[in-house]
Amino acid sequence: MQAKWELPQLVKYHTTLKEKLDAKSKQAKNPKYEKGSKIKDSYGVAQSVITELFAIKDGVVDNLEQQKSIIEQEIAKYPKENNPAKSKLKTLLKLVDSFIKQERDCDKKVVQISNKVDDEFEKFKQQYKKFLDESSIKITMEEEDEVRQAKEQVQKAEGLAKKYDKLFTGREELLNQLETLRDNFTKIREEKYKELTNKSADRLRLSLIKGDNKELFRTKIKELLSHSGTKPETYIDSLIERNTSRQFVNKIIAEKTNELQNDIGQNTQVDCEKIVAHLKNKIVELLPLQYQWVYIDEPKIELNVKPLESEPYKELSQLSVGQKSTALLVISLLEGCSPVLIDQPEDALDLKSVIQDVSERLRQYKTRRQFILTTHNSSVAVSSDSDKYFILEPEGDKGRLLFSGAIDTEAIREQVINYLEGGTKSYDLKRKKYKKS
């Protein structure tokens, strides 16, 4: 990445030097100069080839030496001289030794050629330097070397930049895949919310708000921009508002100062070049922002509290404690097949909600899953069509089981009336008050 950033400056530097040298050489218009330049270029190529050849030869010899060591270890495993396997291994060892000798002889020849090339070039340098010193237009060998070195730097940077481009493209593809996975995850959750909304029979309206976790993004960027020579508090909100973490980091990588200036506002006194230069030095800390700060999907839960009005739903934050309990209880009863244990579901609920949101739903779902409830409310216990009752009394820090069974039996029915209705007398009085037989 550093090579990618430095490449334009290196190209500019090399071009400037080359133009100066070309201007001098055109004025000189001497065939000796042109010939000398070509010889210098050829020498550079020869040196590169010889260096590469040495590297290859060293690798071959090292590999042969390793193979020789392995063969010698295998030979040592056979103490008897007349062993056929040992004889074959010795033959193979001689062959490897001959290869190593050939390679070393070849090395000597390459060294001889290299020394001869160096000697010839040294003679040429002396003659060429004399020619340059005597020419009317002074072109020093140092100037030519500087141009050549600049060209090599450009070529090296171009190679690294190509590798970077390939890595960057691959990284972007992976980030795209990650975003697709996150989007798919959000879609699955959205579908589940729709399903739960339908199952609630308009009692609830559930939806999903795709969040972007900007607070964590803001905290990290503010931390990285400290000591940047700018005032992050004056512009960071604008940057965060107009960019995802991935977009922002890519703008820093691409050095898009104009786009950052547009994000912040053209009329502000913020030096975006300072921001980019500072964050480029912290690129290792900056890159993980593109995948670490995952988006947070925020559930939106609304309860139908006024069915007859045009907008009957209210968000969870606007509900009373009892209404919040109702909403969460309805959600818990809509899904699953494992047993559910609820401690006094009537707490904080009005009686209408107890019947509508607890009793009726328990009757609806009790064939699909088991519900275990503790209650002091007959509307929960009886109206839910409970199959079995356990009547307990406190005994110190424990509970003592008094009765258990179905309400169809006379004994259990009497105990339910006694504990949940306050006894037969209280129950009969309520029936008379309601004028119900």
Cα 214 to Cα 242, 254, 281, 289: the distances in Å are: 11, 22, 23, 11
Count CB neighbours of 373 within 10 A: 18
Place of tokens 């909304």: 197
CA distance 179 to 295: 9
CA 251, chain centre distance (Å): 18
Residues 244 and 430: their CA atoms lie apart, in Å, by 64
pLDDT of residue 301: 92
pLDDT of residue 27: 46
Helices then strands, counting H and E runs in the chain, come out as 17, 7
Specify whether the CB–CB gap between 17 and 146 falls below 8 A: yes
For residues 437 and 435, give the distance between their C-alpha atoms in angstroms, rounded to a whole number: 7
Please give the domain boundaries of the chain with CATH numbers for all domains: 2-163 (no CATH), 212-292 (no CATH), 318-433 (3.40.50.300)
In this prediction, residue 193 carries a pLDDT of: 92
Q: Please state, in angstroms and rounded to a whole number, the distance separating the CA atoms of residues 196 and 192.
A: 6
The three-class DSSP label of residue 391 is: strand
Nearest to 249 by CA among 310, 170, 172: 172
Q: Calculate ∠ Cα 10-12-16, nearest 5°.
A: 115
Cα–Cα nearest to 238, from 209, 255, 210, 261: 261
| Mean pLDDT, contiguous 10-residue spans, the chain (437 residues) | 64 66 54 59 65 69 79 78 75 80 77 76 68 58 69 77 84 89 88 91 88 80 88 88 90 90 79 89 87 77 82 88 81 83 82 83 85 88 91 88 91 90 86 76
Cβ-contact 144, 132 below 8 angstroms? no
Cα dihedral 163, 164, 166, 170 in deg (nearest 10) = 140
**Cα distances (Å, whole numbers) of residue 391 to 198, 341, 362, 374:** 37, 16, 20, 10
